[in-house]
Amino acid sequence: MRASTLARGPAEGVTSFTVRILDGLFPPPRPFAVRLWDGAVLPAAGQPRFVLGLTHPGALRRMLFPPGDLTLGEAFLRGDFEIEGDLETAVSMLVQAATRSWSSWITTALRATRLPNTFGPLRVPPRARLGGRVHSPARDRAAIAHHYNVGNDFYALWLDQRMVYSCAYFPAGTEDLNNAQEAKLELICRKLRLRPGDRVLDIGCGWGGLVLYAAQRYGVDAVGVTLSEPQATWARQRIAETGMAERCRVAVRDYREVAEGDFDKIVSVGMFEHVGAARLSAYFGRVFSLLRPGGLFLNHGIAGRPDPPWWRRLGRRTSFLNAHVFPDGDLVSVGNVIAVAERRGFEVRDVESLREHYARTLRLWVQRLEARRDQAVQLVGEGKYRTWRLFMAASAQGFAAGRISVFQVLLAKPNAAGVVGLPWSRADLYA
Q: Determine the Cα–Cα distance for residues 38 and 233; give it in Å rounded to an integer.
A: 49
User: What's the pLDDT score for residue 173?
Assistant: 93
- At residue 213, the 3 state secondary structure works out as helix
Alpha-helix runs per DSSP H in 253-319? 280-290, 309-314
Total-model pTM: 0.93
pLDDT band with cut points at 50, 70 and 90 for residue 307: low
pLDDT band with cut points at 50, 70 and 90 for residue 260: confident
Which tens digit of pLDDT belongs to each residue from 331-345?
A: 999 999 999 999 999
Buried b (16+ CB within 10 A) or exposed e, 372-410: beebbeebbebbbbbbbbbbbbbbbbbbbeeebbbbbbb
User: What's the pLDDT score for residue 306?
Assistant: 60
Q: Which helix H or strand E contains 302, and what residues bound it?
A: strand 291-304
Residue type present at position 37: W
Domains in the chain, ordered, with CATH? 14-112 (3.30.1050), 137-430 (3.40.50.150)
| Mean pLDDT of the residues in the chain | 92
Contacts of 15 (CB under 8 A, 6+ apart): 36, 38, 40, 57
Q: Which helix H or strand E contains 405, and what residues bound it?
A: strand 404-412
| Average confidence (pLDDT) over 387-392 | 98
Residue 316 predicted with pLDDT over 80: no
